Chains A and B, each alone.
Chain A
Amino acid sequence: QKEVEQDPGPLSVPEGAIVSLNCTYSNSAFQYFMWYRQYSRKGPELLMYTYSSGNKEDGRFTAQVDKSSKYISLFIRDSQPSDSATYLCAMPNTGGFKTIFGAGTRLFVKA
């Protein structure tokens, strides 16, 4: 079993839709959770960073962590074609020396 599981998609939605991206993880010791956005042929860009459980909102983006279920989510409201990218969840492993990435979900937002 992988430490971090993420559905690679692709996920295709119409403009204006609410998008839900999810990851599950197996190690209950993980405490920090990140979402990166990666446009085609570019480096990943840090989008959201959360510690422990709860919600964090930044504009149209909301990151949610449920440590009891070992489940994290990223919600995008009023999705735009410019949101079309690959979204990677990531979390530092125990000890923090390495970051474990999910497989990345490819999102397409159609105008």
Chain B
Amino acid sequence: DTEVTQTPKHLVMGMTNKKSLKCEQHMGHRAMYWYKQKAKKPPELMFVYSYEKLSINESVPSRFSPECPNSSLLNLHLHALQPEDSALYLCASSQDQVGGREQFFGPGTRLTVL
């Protein structure tokens, strides 16, 4: 299985809602990533987990809260988002965080904040 899955595919939420994005991989990868991608822009790194520990937080606002319950799962909890947070949220995984590892991306969750 060489796939990264993400749910839901689409999400519409109000600014007062709380929701979660989920990501799963069964490739035995020990590094997992959250990216945000706006239209016609490259992916922007948000968080990196390595061996289930948060290793990089790219100064992301606290309304985004990541969680890695086990080596196969990655969640992104959303609370009190702003309309400018509307974007495609991508999860990726790699064998580990050693330099040069290829990252495999999921299909993304398209988030709209009203």
Contacts and interface: CB of A to CB of B under 8 A. Distances in A.
A46 B107 CA distance: 12
Interface stretch (A57-65, A71-79, A99-107): A99-107
Interface residues of B, number: 26
A14 interface: no
Contacts of A34: 102
A74 to B, nearest CB: 15
Given A8-B40, A42-B107, A43-B90, A98 B56 contact: yes
Nearest to A6: B42
Interface string B6-24: 1000000000000000000
A47 B88 CA distance: 20
Interface in B83-113: 88, 90, 92, 97-108, 110
Contacts of A44: 43, 90, 105
B42 A88 contact: yes
Contacts, number: 61
A104 B102 CA distance: 18
B25 to A, nearest CB: 12
B48 to A, nearest CB: 7
A31 interface: yes
B99 A32 contact: yes
Contacts of A45: 105
B90 A96 contact: no
A14 B99 CA distance: 38
Interface in A86-111: 88, 92, 95-99, 101-104, 106
A46 B43 contact: no
Contact of B99 (A92, A101, A102, A104): A92
A104 B43 CA distance: 10
B102 A49 contact: yes
A10 to B, nearest CB: 10
